[in-house]
Amino acid sequence: MNVHSQSDCNCPTDLRVPEILRAIRHIFIEKGFDGASMQDLARGSGMSAGNFYRYFRSKNAIIEAMVAHDLGEFRDDFARIMTADDPMAELRTTIARHLTAQDQGALWAEINAAALRKPEIAALCTGMEAWITDRLIEIFAHVAHLSEDAARARFTAHAGVVVMSVKATAISRAAATRADVDALMLRMIEGLLDEVSHHAD
């Protein structure tokens, strides 16, 4: 599934794009999607407004680029998991890291709030979650020694709940850090992953 449209982003493959995205993440977190102006974002990136518009014509284009950038990181995660000696242990470690990433959660809290008002952003978020769910099912198929179709029939709900749990916990941490909630959510996810692992035994 391709969740990244290049229609509004002039140069998504430019080497400066990841640098710009890192520089402006905090602007969205501090001011919100609607509150952050393109001028604010240009200043945050250390660029003139004219130069910034060469990279991104709109805030939607910035969100598209952020989704594409984060998907690139997730692809690296999943490649590492699939080639690990113990894929499920590597998956558990990766999930724990994403679940407790507070700055990431704060940004995605703003993006998801914007998704409630903007269908095009909602489509990006939905596409990203579907892509991650598909990758989890591939891992489950590999670990449980099942065909992908069999794993999809058996474990789609497991993958969906893992994605929703990580997303909800990360976003909630944007408002308040709750170590007890994080620990409980991790135990719940561990239980879901144990069901997959036990199928392979």
Question: Tens digits of per-residue pLDDT, 96-123?
Answer: 888 877 667 778 888 888 888 889 989 9
Token code pair at residue 90: 């590597």
pLDDT of residue 106: 76
Inside any domain, residue 181: yes
Token code pair at residue 69: 């950038």
Residue 76 to residue 95: CA distance in whole angstroms: 13
**Contact residues for 175 (Cβ-Cβ < 8 A; gap 6+):** 109
Quick one: average pLDDT of 142-169?
94
Inside any domain, residue 60: no
pLDDT band at 175 (very low <50, low <70, confident <90, very high): low
Inside any domain, residue 159: yes
Q: How far is CA 144 from CA 83, 121, 141, 155, 190, in A?
A: 15, 35, 5, 10, 16
Residue 114 to residue 108: CA distance in whole angstroms: 10
In sign, the C-alpha dihedral spanning 59, 60, 61, 67 is positive
Structural domain harbouring 115: 66-200
Task: Provide the mean pLDDT of the chain.
Answer: 86
Per-position b or e across 55-92, b if 16+ CB within 10 A of its CB: bbeebbbbbbbbbbbbbeebeebbeebeeeeebbebbb
Under a CB-based contact definition with an 8 Å cutoff, are residues 181 and 157 in contact?
Answer: no
Instruction: List the helix and strand counts (H, then E) for the chain.
Output: 9, 0
Token code pair at residue 122: 């909602």
Specify the range with the lowest mean pLDDT, choosing from 2-11, 46-55, 59-68. Answer: 2-11
pLDDT above 50 for 1: no
Token code pair at residue 133: 């769910």
pLDDT above 90 for 168: no
HSE (CB half, 13 Å, CA atoms) of 190?
Answer: 9
Inside any domain, residue 144: yes
pLDDT of residue 14: 67
pLDDT of residue 2: 45
pLDDT of residue 179: 77
pLDDT of residue 190: 94
Inside any domain, residue 133: yes
Quick one: average pLDDT of 153-171?
91
pLDDT of residue 8: 45
**Contact residues for 177 (Cβ-Cβ < 8 A; gap 6+):** 102
Inside any domain, residue 18: no
pLDDT of residue 129: 93
pLDDT above 90 for 29: no
Query: What percent of the chain has a predicted confidence (pLDDT) above 90?
Result: 50
Inside any domain, residue 192: yes
**Count of domains in the chain?**
1
pLDDT of residue 102: 62
Specify the range with the lowest mean pLDDT, choosing from 15-19, 162-166, 183-187. Answer: 15-19
pLDDT of residue 114: 85
